[in-house]
Amino acid sequence: MLEFRVLAVIIFGCFEVLLGGLGLGWPSLVYMLKHEGFFIEKCSSNSTILEVNCKERDTAFNLVFSVSMGLAGFGGLFSGFILDKFGLFWSRISQFLPLLLCYGLLSSRIVNGSLLFISIISLNFSNIQILNNSTVLANLVPQYKSIIISIFSCMFNTSIAVADVIKIIYERGIEMYKIFLFLSGITVIQLTASGLLMPYNKPLDENFETLIEKFQKKKDSVPDLAIGMRQACQSTLEIVSVTAVKKDKFLDFRNFLQHFKKQKKKLRETLSNKLYLLTVMFEAVNHLNVIYYISSLNSVIEDMADNNSELVSWHISLFSYIQYANVIVALFIGWIIEKADKSNNRFAFSLMTLVCIISGSSIVLIVTIKVLNLQVVGYFGFLLARILTYSLPPVIFLRWLDNEHFGMAMGSCQVILSAFGLMANPLYRLNVEVFRKNNFYKIVKVIPSDQQHLEWLKDVYKQEKVDFLIEPSVKGVPCEVLLSPQQQIPFERSLNTFNFQYEESNADVESDLQTLWSRLDNNKNFNLDDFNDFDTIMDGLDEMQSRCPNGASCSIRSIGNSHEGRLQKVFELTKEGNGRKIIWIDSAIHAREWLSAATVLNILNTLIEQSDQDAINLFNKYDFYFLPVVNPDGYQYTFDYDRFWRKNRRQNPGGCFGIDLNRNYDSRWGTDGVSTNPCSQTYPGASVASERETVNVQNEALRIGSNTLAWITTHTFGQMVLTPFSYTEDGICYRSDDYAELKRSADAFANGIEEVYGTSWVRGSFCEVLYPGSGTLVDYVKEKAGVKYSYTPELRGPGFDPSRDQIQPSYNEFWNGFKKLIAEIEAIEGLN
pLDDT surpassing 60 at residue 459: yes
Looking at residues 65-88, what average pLDDT do you find? 72
Rg over CA atoms, the chain? 35
Beta strands 728-729 and 732-733, pairing class: antiparallel
Contacts of 120 (CB under 8 A, 6+ apart): 23, 64, 65, 68, 102
In percent, the amount of the chain with pLDDT more than 70 equals 71
Q: Of 678, 639, 609, whose CA–CA distance to 52 is shortest?
A: 678
Classify burial at 101, counting beta carbons within 10 Å of its beta carbon; exposed 0-12, middle 13-18, buried 19 or more.
Answer: middle
Distance CA 535, CA 558 (A): 14
Q: Of 176, 232, 228, 244, whose CA–CA distance to 203 is shortest?
A: 232
Q: Please provide the DSSP assignment of 756-819 as one string.
A: HH----EEEEHHHHT----S-HHHHHHHTS--SEEEEEEE--SSSS--GGGHHHHHHHHHHHHH
pLDDT tens column, 255-265: 544 544 555 55
Q: Find the range with the poorest average confidence among 240-244, 336-340, 758-762, 822-826.
A: 240-244
pLDDT tens column, 642-666: 788 889 998 887 657 889 999 999 9
Classify burial at 393, counting beta carbons within 10 Å of its beta carbon; exposed 0-12, middle 13-18, buried 19 or more.
Answer: buried
Contacts of 625 (CB under 8 A, 6+ apart): 570, 571, 572, 573, 582, 583, 584, 585, 704
Phi first, then psi: what are they for 796, rounded to 5°? -65, 165
Which tops the pLDDT comparison, 681 or 790? 790
pLDDT of residue 414: 67
Per-residue CA distances from 532 to 163, 187, 437, 596, 795 (Å): 48, 55, 17, 12, 18
Classify burial at 645, counting beta carbons within 10 Å of its beta carbon; exposed 0-12, middle 13-18, buried 19 or more.
Answer: buried
pLDDT of residue 176: 83
Beta strands 708-716 and 789-795, pairing class: parallel
Looking at residues 571-584, what average pLDDT do you find? 92
pLDDT of residue 545: 96
Sheet holding 720-723, edge to edge: 553-561, 567-574, 622-627, 581-587, 708-716, 789-795, 720-723, 762-765
pLDDT tens column, 6-17: 777 777 777 777
How would residue 354 be classed by pLDDT, with cut points 50, 70 and 90?
Answer: low
pLDDT tens column, 703-757: 999 999 999 999 988 899 999 999 998 889 999 999 999 999 999 999 999 999 9
Question: What region does 590 belong to: left with phi over 0, alpha with psi -120 to 50, or beta?
Answer: beta
User: How far is Cα of residue 718 from the mean position of the Cα atoms in its chain?
Assistant: 33
Distance CA 717, CA 715 (A): 6
Q: Find the range with the poorest average confidence among 77-81, 549-553, 723-727.
A: 77-81
pLDDT surpassing 50 at residue 49: no
Please name the residue ranges forming H helices in 305-405.
309-322, 326-342, 347-368, 375-400
Superfamily of domain 2-432: MFS general substrate transporter like domains (1.20.1250.20)
Q: Where do the structural domains in the chain lie, given as residue ranges? A: 2-432, 442-512, 552-829
**Three-state secondary structure call for residue 560:** strand
Q: Of 180, 484, 108, 429, whose CA–CA distance to 292 is shortest?
A: 429
Long-range contacts, 753-757 (Cβ 8 Å, 24+): 753/719, 753/721, 753/813, 753/814, 753/816, 753/817, 755/816, 756/809, 756/812, 756/813, 756/816, 757/809, 757/812, 757/813
Residue 279: DSSP 8-state = H
Classify burial at 342, counting beta carbons within 10 Å of its beta carbon; exposed 0-12, middle 13-18, buried 19 or more.
Answer: exposed
Q: Please provide the DSSP assignment of 298-322 as one string.
A: HHHHHHHTTT-HHHHHHHHHHHHHH
Amino acid letter for position 278:
L
How would residue 455 be classed by pLDDT, with cut points 50, 70 and 90?
Answer: confident
As a CATH number, domain 552-829 is 3.40.630.10
Exposure string over 436-468, b if 16+ CB within 10 A, otherwise e: ebbebbbbbbbbbeeeebbebbbebbbbbbbbb
Per-residue CA distances from 712 to 142, 347, 660 (Å): 85, 82, 18
pLDDT of residue 820: 96
Per-residue CA distances from 728 to 670, 736, 762 (Å): 12, 11, 20
Beta strands 762-765 and 720-723, pairing class: parallel
Question: What region does 483 belong to: left with phi over 0, alpha with psi -120 to 50, or beta?
Answer: beta
The answer to whether the CB of 382 falls within 8 A of the CB of 289 is no
Q: Quick check: do 2-432 and 442-512 share a fold?
A: no
Looking at residues 349-378, what average pLDDT do you find? 67
Looking at residues 145-160, what average pLDDT do you find? 72
Q: Of 343, 342, 356, whose CA–CA distance to 393 is shortest?
A: 356
How would residue 221 be classed by pLDDT, with cut points 50, 70 and 90?
Answer: very low
pLDDT of residue 1: 47
Residue 265, number of CB atoms within 10 A of its CB: 9
Q: Of 131, 190, 191, 121, whose CA–CA distance to 156 is shortest?
A: 131
User: How far is Cα of residue 648 from the mean position of the Cα atoms in its chain?
Assistant: 18
Distance CA 162, CA 810 (A): 61
Confirm whether pTM is higher than 0.85.
no
Contacts of 43 (CB under 8 A, 6+ apart): 52, 53, 54, 56, 57, 655, 656, 657
**Three-state secondary structure call for residue 477:** coil
How would residue 286 be classed by pLDDT, with cut points 50, 70 and 90?
Answer: confident
pLDDT surpassing 50 at residue 438: no
The answer to whether the CB of 752 falls within 8 A of the CB of 821 is yes
What class is the 442-512 domain?
alpha beta
Looking at residues 151-172, what average pLDDT do you find? 79
Q: Which residues are catalytic?
A: 794
Which tops the pLDDT comparison, 530 or 163? 530
Amino acid letter for position 573:
L
pLDDT tens column, 91-117: 777 777 887 888 888 888 777 778 888
Q: Find the range with the poorest average confidence among 623-627, 677-681, 718-722, 827-831.
A: 677-681
Residue 720: DSSP 8-state = E
Please name the residue ranges forming H helices in 565-721.
594-609, 613-621, 632-640, 692-704
Distance CA 529, CA 181 (A): 59
Distance CA 276, CA 99 (A): 30
End-to-end Cα, the chain, rounded Å: 110
Query: Average model confidence (pLDDT) for the chain?
Result: 77
Q: What is the largest CA-CA distance in the chain?
A: 118
pLDDT of residue 142: 67
Residue 549: DSSP 8-state = P
